Each structure stands twice: as structure tokens, then as C-alpha cells.
Amino acid sequence: MSKKLLRSVREYKRQAILTPVFVALEVLVEVLIPLLMANIIDVGIAQGDMPYIIKLGLLLILMAVVALFFGAKSGQLGAVASAGFAKNLRHDIFYKVQDFSFGNIDHFSTSGLVTRLTTDITNVQMAFMFTIRLLARAPIMIVLSLVMTMTISMPIALMLLITIPILGGVLLYIAKKAHPHFIQVFDEYDVLNNTVQENVNAARVVKAYVRADHENEKFGKISSIVFKLFTKAERIVAWNSPIMQFTLYVVILVMVLIGGESIINETMQTGELTSVIVYAIQILSSLMMVTFVFVQIMIAEASTDRITEVLDEVPEMADASNARTEVANGDIDFEHVDFSYSGEGGNLSLKDVNLHIKSGQIVGVIGGTGSAKSTLVQLIPRLYDVTKGSVKVGGVDVRDYSLKALRDQVSVVLQKNVLFTGSIYENVRWGDENASDAEVQRVCKLAQADSFIQDFPAKYETMIVEGGNNVSGGQKQRLCIARALLKKPKILILDDSTSAVDTKTDALIRQAFREEIPDTTKIIIAQRISSVEDADMIIVMENGEINGIGTSEELLKTNAIYREVYESQVKGGADNE
């Protein structure tokens, strides 16, 4: 396990260190028990000394209780240490992810991050617990048992000394053989998780498209791959137990032979032989334990790597120490902006974009899907950084602001927007957690959401569930607009945010913007000409480039794409809804 991860043990270090200490104490007591038994047999029974037998018997019980106490204590401490370690790790990853930019998240994918926060952490937690509990136990047990055996019979100790590396080697060989299969199993788990997550997230879509059979088949396939791989791995590991048993019987047989001769020669006693056999059993089962832990650690290794990857990821965006916290106004300037999602040298999604927007203007953006409308506006609140050139807000490069200050002033309603589980009040207050009820209601009126909210029995206390599945698409969009308005931003960006709203309501929203927030720059991405027609400036995007800029009137004269869209929507009289 990497040092980096172990740093997350933090306040549980005490427990993590005490666990092996208690394990050692337990083993110390356990090792003495066979010795006592030998004395009971060789002294007590041989001489028919009943009081001696009772005395040692009581001592034996006492030691068993003490061993039990140490064992329970180490178990408790180990559980706290490993669960605490896992808690801290989860916390660290979660906090790290909060600092991720959109680019960082693209790098891992959402389900990749979820698996890391769940399955991978559980693997590491298990390995950590086994390590501090069992790995400490085995070596101490083996060494002490060997020492005890030596004091009784040198030849038998020698025989065990030879057996240990042989059996250990064989068991490790088995573990190594099974290891790649286990790794494969966990890789397949990722695929399995991904399928489940995607399917459950999109359960409604799956039903709507009657794709349940197809999804079942897909799941069945992956599930049976996992089954096969697991069987393969377990079939190899299954050799452990019989090999161990066989070795044990052989060892006991040899010990009885050696011991029997010694007893006949009177250099050893019967009780001593019994205790030596117990030591042998303890040594061999400790070996078995080590290989078991070894497999667990190997399994966790892959998880460790995946977790370290997240912890090592450098957040792409960090505030400069002298970052600006004031945004002067809603001016926006793009100067020779190139942008690629894969960084320098990658496929350019935006090519040499130049754009100047004055504070308070209403700007429409239209263009086909994939023409980079969303990409263009995401550069303004710095959801992504430009690859070349610069984006300025209020005359200052966006990279010179603190992220919080910038994003407080540039409010975006993303195309793929979501609401959270909670009341309407709570959801809209994402924009400003200190806003009063009246303030929330005001922005909801602005976004034309108030009327439908009043129709809900619980009104503003209505609970939103599952990202907004219990409100219609158009209602969700209006709530998201209200949330963005609550920030009182200097720039408001709507990325296709009224697509599910009827044209009349759409017009009312724009009218409210014009009257109520005249100083805010408004950028409206839309498919409908009617949504942008009355804008001060319309940008026509095509293939990552600005194809034309102007008012609707100007573009009708100069821009072929705009004219085509206009004619298909307006001239035919049909609003494409």
C-alpha cells in the first residue's frame, strides 16, 4: 500500500499501531498454553498429582480468558482503524473531486469516480485491516512457536524449519497464479458497475424505448464474464486447503516418528510431543493466513493505484494569490480564442474566435448541434480554460479572477441542468443561500415559474425528487433560470434553457429580462429563431467558428445559414415545436 494513501490514516494512527501490539500480546499468551498442557500431562497426570492438575487447569483458563481479551481488543481496534482509514480516504477523494475542473472530471468519468469512492475504498479497507491484524500475527506466531519447539526437540524444530519455506513457496505460487484473474475480475466489476449505473440512471429512457431485453442481455453477458473469471481464480485458490491439510498430516506423521523414538529413548515426554504437534499446527495455519492476506493485498493494489490517481490529479484551475475579486461590468471579449477539449495539439473545438459584447446587451447564439455553442459559452465562467488566446470579462482575463468571484458574476444555466433532492426553496437558493423567501419568489416570477409553483399544493415547499423527475421539462428549465437569476449576476447565460418552454412563456421571460435586469449581459443559446430574433446581436456558429454576427435584419441580408433557418421556421409560419 502506498505511503501516500497511508497518510489518510491520520487520527486513527493510535488504533492502527495498537492493533498489532494487542495481536502480539495475544500470541504471546497463546504460545504458552501448549506448554502448560504438556506440564499437565507429563507432571500432573504422570505423577497422579490432582491438586497440581487443578492448579494448572485454572491457570490455563485464566490464560485463555486473557488471550480472548487481547484478541477482542485487537479486533475492535483493527476495525476502528481500518474503517476510520476508509472514512478519511473517502473524505479526501470527495474533497479533491470538488476542486476538479470540468476537464479533470472528463479525465475520470463520473462512474469511474463513483467506483473509486465505493468498491476501491472497500478493497483498500479490507487489505488494511488484514495487514494490521493478520500480518502481525503470523510472523510472531511462527517465530515463537519455533523457539518453543526448539526448547523441546531440536530435530523436530529443524524439520519444521525445512517445511516452512517449501509450503510457503507453494502457497505463494498459488496466490501469484490466481492474482491476474482477480485483477481481471475487478476490471470487469468496473464495466458491470458502469452498466448498472447507466441503466438505473436512465431507467425511464430504457422503458420508453423498450430496451429492457437488450439491457438484460448486456448485463447478463458481463455478469457471466465475472462469474467465469471468479471461478477460474477460486479454482486455483481452492488448492490451498488440501495442500495445507496434506502437509500437516505428513508433518504430524514425521513428528510422531521422531517424537516416538525420543520418547522410547526417554529424551522426550508424551505431553511434550502433544504440545509440539499444536505448535506445528499453529505454524502451518499462520502460513496459510499469510498467503490469504497476500492475495487480499494484491487485489487491493489495483484499487490503491486507482485511488492514488485521483489524489494525484492536479486540479486544472487554482486561484492566483493576487486574484481579483471584483468584476467591473458585464463586458465580454474573446480574442483569438482556440479551444480543444484534449488540450494543446488536440482537435480544435473552437477556432480563432473574436467577439466583443457590451455590458447589458442581449446576445443570441444559434447554430447546428455540435457547432460549439455550448463550448463557446463555457469559457466565460471558466468551466474550461482556453487553449490559445484569451477570454475577458469586465476587461480582465478570466484567469485573473478568483473562481468564486467570477462564477458569482457569470451565472450559467447549463444545457444538461439538474435540480437536487429538496424543496423548491432549497433548490433555487443554490443561487444565494441567504436569499429571503420573498427574493426567491421574485426571481421565480421573473423566470415565469411562480404561476405553476402556485398550482402545486405545497407551493414553494414542494419537494423535487431525483434531479427533477417530478416536474416537467419546461418547469425544470424555469426553476433553473430562477436559480441562476438569484445570484444577481452581471452576465447570465442560458444554454438552450427554454427549449421545453412554450413560445409565449419564452417571450415573457425575455421581456422580464429586458425590464428587470437591464444591466445584466444576457447570452441566449437557442434553436428557435423567435428566441433570439429581437436580440441586440446574434452569433451564428458553424463548426467551431463564428459564421456571422449581426442583428436579425443584418444577418438576413448577409448570412446564408441564418437566412435558411429563418425561412424554415418563420416564413413557413410553423414554429418547430
Ligand X SMILES: Nc1ncnc2c1ncn2[C@@H]1O[C@H](COP(=O)(O)OP(=O)(O)O)[C@@H](O)[C@H]1O
Tell me whether residue 374 or residue 427 sits nearer to Mg ion (CB atom). Answer: 374
Are the beta carbons of 563 and 556 closer than 8 angstroms? yes
Q: In whole angstroms, how far apart are CA 372 and each of 79, 351, 375?
A: 52, 10, 5
Indicate which of Mg ion, ligand X, none lies near residue 551 (CB less than 5 to 8 Å, by partner kind).
Answer: none
CA–CA distance, 287 with 296 (Å, rounded to integer): 15
Contact call for residues 224 and 262 (beta carbons, < 8 A) = no
Which option in ligand X, Mg ion, none does residue 347 bind, with CB closer than 5 to 8 A by kind?
Answer: none
* Nearer to ligand X (CB atom), residue 374 or residue 417: 374
Compute the least distance from the CB of residue 512 to ligand X, in Å. Answer: 25
Among ligand X, Mg ion, none, what binds residue 341 when CB lies within 5 to 8 Å by partner kind?
ligand X
Q: Which of Mg ion, ligand X, none is residue 553 near (CB under 5 to 8 Å by kind)? A: none
Cell 415545436, residue located: 577
Give me the least distance between CB of 380 and ligand X, in Å please.
13
223 vs 415 by CB, closer to Mg ion: 415
Counting other chains too, the contacts that 100-105 makes at CB distance below 8 Å and 24 or more residues apart are 100/313, 100/315, 100/316, 101/315, 101/316, 101/317, 101/383, 101/384, 101/385, 102/378, 102/383, 102/384, 103/316, 103/341, 103/384, 103/385, 104/313, 104/315, 104/316
Say what angle helices 270-312 and 240-264 make with each other, to 10 degrees. Answer: 150
Return the number of the residue (112 or 367) whose C-beta is nearest ligand X. 367
Angstrom distance (rounded) from CA 281 to CA 363:
81
To ligand X, the closest distance from the beta carbon of 547 in angstroms equals 12
Strand, helix or coil for residue 294:
helix
Residue 113 contact among ligand X, Mg ion, none, beta carbon within 5 to 8 Å by kind: none
Nearer to Mg ion, 194 or 415 (CB): 415
Nearest residue (CB) to Mg ion, 415 versus 547: 415
Q: What single string gives the DSSP state of each residue in 98-160?
A: HT--HHHHHHH-HHHHHHIIIIIHHHHHHHHHHIIIIIHHHHHHHHHHHHHHHHH-HHHHHHH
Residue 521 contacts which entry, Mg ion, ligand X, none (Cβ below 5-8 A, type-dependent): none
| DSSP H/E element including 238 | none
Query: Residue 102 or 189: which CB sits closer to ligand X?
Result: 102
- Site residues, ligand X (CB under 6 A): 106, 341, 349, 367, 369-375
In the complex, the smallest distance separating the C-beta of residue 376 from ligand X, rounded to whole angstroms, is: 7
Kindly list the distances between the CA atom of residue 82 and the CA atoms of 73, 286, 437, 486, in Å, as whole numbers in the listed order.
14, 21, 45, 44
Work out what residue 8 binds among ligand X, Mg ion, none; the CB cut-off runs from 5 to 8 Å by kind.
none
Nearer to Mg ion among residue 69 and residue 341 (C-beta) = 341
**Least Cβ distance, residue 495 to Mg ion (angstroms):** 6
The owner of cell 481481471 is: 184
Least distance (Å) between residue 373 CB and Mg ion: 5
The least CB distance from residue 383 to Mg ion, in Å, is 13
Partner in contact with 106, chosen from Mg ion, ligand X, none, beta carbon below 5 to 8 Å by kind: ligand X
| Closest-CA residue to 503 (of 413, 559, 570) | 570
| CB neighbour list of residue 504: distance below 8 Å, 6 or more residues apart | none
C-beta closer to ligand X: residue 106 or 437: 106
Strand order in the sheet with 396-397: 350-357, 332-339, 388-393, 396-397
370 binds, among ligand X, Mg ion, none (CB under 5 to 8 A by kind): ligand X
What's the distance, CA 207 to chain centroid?
28
Count of CB atoms situated within 10 Å of the CB of 495? 21
Q: Are 523 and 491 spatial neighbours (Cβ–Cβ below 8 Å)?
A: yes
Restricting to residues 372-401, name those near Mg ion by CB under 5 A.
374
Fill in the per-residue mask, 355 to 374: x = in contact with Mg ion (CB under 5 A), - = not in contact: -------------------x
Report the residue number, 233 or 526, with the smaller CB distance to Mg ion.
526
Residues 402-421 that bind Mg ion (CB under 5 A): 415
498 binds Mg ion (CB under 5 A): no
Tell me the closest approach of the beta carbon of residue 100 to Mg ion, in angstroms: 21
Residue 322 binds what, of Mg ion, ligand X, none (CB under 5 to 8 Å, by partner type)? none
Distance between CA atoms of residues 149 and 396, nearest Å: 80
Question: Least Å distance between CB 216 and ligand X?
Answer: 30
Residues in 315-344 that interact with Mg ion by CB under 5 A: none
Size of the site for Mg ion (CB under 5 A): 2
C-alpha cell at 487: 445570484
Radius of gyration (Cα) for the chain, nearest Å?
36
**Residue with Cβ nearer Mg ion (306 or 528):** 528
Residue 372 binds what, of Mg ion, ligand X, none (CB under 5 to 8 Å, by partner type)?
ligand X
Nearer to ligand X, 337 or 446 (CB): 337
Tell me how far, at minimum, the Cβ of 227 lies from Mg ion, in Å: 41
How far is residue 194 from each of residues 148, 203, 355, 360, 439, measured CA to CA in Å? 54, 14, 40, 44, 41
Could you count the other beta carbons within 10 Å of the beta carbon of residue 330?
Answer: 23
Of 74 and 374, which has the nearer Cβ to Mg ion? 374
Q: Which does 201 bind (CB under 5 to 8 A by kind): ligand X, Mg ion, none?
A: none
Cβ neighbours, 10 Å, residue 246: 11
**Least CB distance to ligand X at residue 286 (A):** 52
CB of 352 to ligand X, least distance (A): 15
DSSP 377-413: HHTTTTSS--SEEEEEETTEEGGGB-HHHHHHHEEEE
Alpha-carbon gap, residue 407 to 200, rounded angstroms:
32
Distance of closest approach, residue 387 Cβ to ligand X, in angstroms: 13
- CA distances to 87, 91, 108, 289, 453 from 307, rounded to whole Å, are 13, 12, 11, 26, 44
**Binding-site partner at residue 265 among Mg ion, ligand X, none, CB < 5 to 8 Å by type:** none
Residues at the interface with Mg ion (CB under 5 A): 374, 415
